[in-house]
Amino acid sequence: MIELKEITKVYGSKQKTTTALSGLNLTVEKGQIFGVIGHSGAGKSTLIRCINLLERPTRGEVWVNGVNLTRLGKRELQQQRRRIGMIFQHFNLLSSATVYDNIAFPLKLAGSDKAKIKAKVEELLVLVGLEAHSAKYPSQLSGGQKQRVGIARALASDPGVLLCDEATSALDPQTTDSILKLLLDINRKLGLTIMLITHEMHVIQSICDRVAVIHQGGIVEEGPVTEVFLKPQHPVTKEFISRDVAGGEPLKQAIELLKPKGIGIYRITFLGTQTYESTLSEVVSETGVHFAILQGTISAIKDVPYGQLTVSFEGKPEAVAQTVAKLQQRELDVEVID
Ligand SMILES: Nc1ncnc2c1ncn2[C@@H]1O[C@H](COP(=O)(O)OP(=O)(O)OP(=O)(O)O)[C@@H](O)[C@H]1O
Ligand SMILES: [Mg+2]
């Protein structure tokens, strides 16, 4: 578990200071994949670097697995850091060392014996799918393969926590997805707690359980990804949600056309198995209301399917009200669109 308590980070000297984080609180439960999303300069890298004290917070406490890292001496901190793996946007591999030696590096540093190192590195090569590449140098690898080396190296000392600083930002969409799949796989196989930072909602949507939105050094919204993604509250969060979900320009035009005619417009959210059920058609056949679909999405958040339909309901006002009530009785989320 990771707990950040009232973390403030001020960079600079007396003349010119930048407050990168101001009194930030955050809790990541064991085994979770927790995403932090924010624009450039929001404080994401500072935040993640504060967790293993690569950056020392100016004020506040960092707790990882029940230990207050901010109060440890140098040697104890070094020991605790071995329990926290980290991967980077630009991989940070040793260019003059092979894949094998890159992965073995933290184990050599820790003084493990050769046989132990060999067994561990071979196990990790299989885990990240690089068995055939162990003798290659980083320059002979694709971006995705380099990040796989980064992940294997980060896992070498059996950490309980993995920190990912924009780990897929330098990769193309397909490679990004394969790396995200690997992270999810590792999370499930090893029960590893993963904290990742990104500026892409797609990354959050694919693998995270919870998300926090960081803006100007503070968390402005936090919750389960399903909740934050389908019902964003803060303007910054809304910006990050794709046009698909929000509706965009075509929906705006439909609203401008239909609203003056007094036709009601509603957004219905289906979550989980609701997505595949015929609730809407059953309800309108009961109430006699006609509907038109103005915009629709079916997708998934991690492994939870969801659908979001924006519809107009035409009919007698009491029949429309009854339609909305019946949908809500069947536990669909119905929101009036103005
Ligand atoms: N070493 C530093 N010295 C001074 N200011 C810094 C330092 N590192 C970061 N900052 C400032 O702190 C703020 C937060 O920076 P940070 O790198 O955490 O943002 P970020 O969200 O990771 O941005 P990006 O998406 O561009 O990587 C910015 O205003 C940045 O200029
Ligand atoms: Mg950054």
Q: What separation, in Å, do the N-terminal and C-terminal C-alpha atoms of the chain show? A: 42
DSSP secondary structure letters along 198-261: ES-HHHHHHH-SEEEEEETTEEEEEEEHHHHHHS--SHHHHHHS-HHHH-HHHHHHHHHHHGGG
Q: Which of residues 240, 258, 276 is at a domain's end?
A: 240
Q: Contact 33/184 with Cβ under 8 angstroms?
A: yes
Residues with CB under 5 A from ligand 2 (ion): 44-45
Co-location of 250 and 312 in the same domain: yes
18, 169, 236: residue to mutate for ligand 1 pocket, most atoms within 8 A of CB: 18
Residue 234 shares a structural domain with residue 302: no
Q: Cα dihedral sign for 293, 295, 301, 303?
A: positive
Rounded Cα distance between 154 and 43, Å, is 23
Minimum CA distance residue for ligand 1 atom 12: 20
What is the CATH number for 307?
3.30.70.260
Residue 51 lies in domain: 2-240
Q: What is the pLDDT of residue 244?
A: 52
Ligand closest to Cα of 55 equals: 1
Which CATH number is 38's domain given? Answer: 3.40.50.300
The reply to whether 84 and 174 lie within a common domain is: yes
Question: Locate tokens 């979001």: which residue?
Answer: 308
Mapping DSSP to helix (H, G, I), strand (E, B) and coil, where does residue 104 land? helix
Helix (H) or strand (E) holding 194: strand 193-198
The answer to whether 153 touches 105, Cβ cutoff 8 Å, is yes
Same domain flag for 290 and 226: no
Same domain (yes/no): 315, 172: no
**What's the 206 CA to ligand 1 centre distance in angstroms?**
26
Domain boundary among 205, 240, 275: 240
Please indicate, yes or no, whether residues 39 and 175 belong to a single structural domain of this protein: yes
Nearest CA to ligand 1 atom 18: 43
Nearest of 332, 330, 214 to residue 311 by alpha carbon: 332
Say if pTM beats, i.e. exceeds, 0.95: no
Q: Which among 53, 112, 48 has a CA at the least distance from the CA of 78? A: 53
Query: Do 88 and 200 share a structural domain?
Result: yes
Q: Are 138 and 98 part of one and the same domain?
A: yes
End residue of a domain, out of 215, 240, 265: 240
Q: What is the pLDDT of residue 243?
A: 52
| Euclidean distance between CA atoms 271 and 7, whole angstroms | 35
**225 and 250 housed in the same domain:** no
d(CA 264, CA 335): 11
> How many domains is the chain partitioned into structurally?
2
Residue 331, token pair as written in the block: 């536990």
| 271 in the same domain as 210 | no
Q: Which helix (H) or strand (E) holds 289?
A: none
Beta-carbon count within 10 A of 302 CB:
15
**Choice from 4, 19, 21, 45 to test ligand 1 binding pocket (greatest atom count within 8 A of CB):** 45
For residue 255, what pLDDT is reported? 86
**115 and 10 in one domain?**
yes
Whether 82 and 111 map to the same domain: the answer is yes
**Is the Cβ–Cβ distance between 169 and 89 less than 8 Å?**
yes
Mean pLDDT by 10 residues, the chain (338 residues): 96 90 97 96 96 96 95 93 94 96 95 95 97 97 97 96 95 95 96 95 95 97 94 90 67 86 91 93 95 91 93 94 96 90
